[in-house]
Structure 1
Amino acid sequence: MKKDQQRKTTAPRPQPKGAGSPARKQRTKPRQFLREVIAELRKVAWPTREEVIAYSMVVLVSVLVIAAVIFGMDFVFTRAVLALFGVES
């Protein structure tokens, strides 16, 4: 290999201090933290009572339907496996 084709490598340059680490943030005092939390909670668009009831009913019905489907599949697969192995139930 010719000299001009050889790749020259150099040692990596040292990074200046603090370049690799993020700047530390000032710690928030508990009282200031609570003020900020309350201010953010005031901005929240809370659902109405009717919306909460409607969403709760949707969740309840969905859970019951999924539970019934899982129960039915478990029952059918249990019967199928027992029949496959010739075990009476």
Structure 2
Amino acid sequence: MADEVVDEPGEELVATAKKKRAEKKTWFGRIILFFQQVVAELKKVVTPTRKELFNFTAVVLIFVIIMMAIVWVLDQLFGWVVVVIFGNPTF
């Protein structure tokens, strides 16, 4: 990933936004300011490398498989408990 992670907006971006907000008080000006800020934030997005993408995907898939196994085991356990408590249903 990137060496430098910026979570907060830069001081110059905030200052520019405040200045533009003071200048543009019409609804149209506020819409333009909003889109300018959206573009500025999108420029900060860092796309993962191919290796990072495969690692992230593998972690998610492994996590999902583990959670599915846990849910299946609990489902089997609770089903067995229900059969023990209430007996075998006859239809």
For normalisation by structure 1, the TM-score amounts to 0.57
Q: Could you tell me which residue of structure 1 aligns to residue 81 of structure 2?
A: 80
- C-alpha distance in structure 2 between counterparts of 1:86 and 1:58, whole Å: 41
Give the aligned residue type for 1:74: D
1:43-86 deviations in whole A, cap 9, x for unaligned? 23332232122112211110111111111111122112202222
Q: Could you tell me which residue of structure 2 aligns to residue 50 of structure 1?
A: 51
> Helix, strand or coil: the match of 1:45?
coil
| Bigger Rg, structure 1 or 2 | 1
Moved over 6 A (4+): none
Q: Could you tell me which residue of structure 2 aligns to residue 32 of structure 1?
A: 33
For normalisation by structure 2, the TM-score amounts to 0.56
- C-alpha distance in structure 2 between counterparts of 1:52 and 1:75, whole Å: 35
Gaps in structure 2 of 5+ consecutive residues? 1-21
> Helix, strand or coil: the match of 2:51?
helix
Question: Identity across aligned pairs (percent)?
Answer: 32
Asked which structure has the greater RCO (Cα within 8 Å, sep 6+), the reply is 2
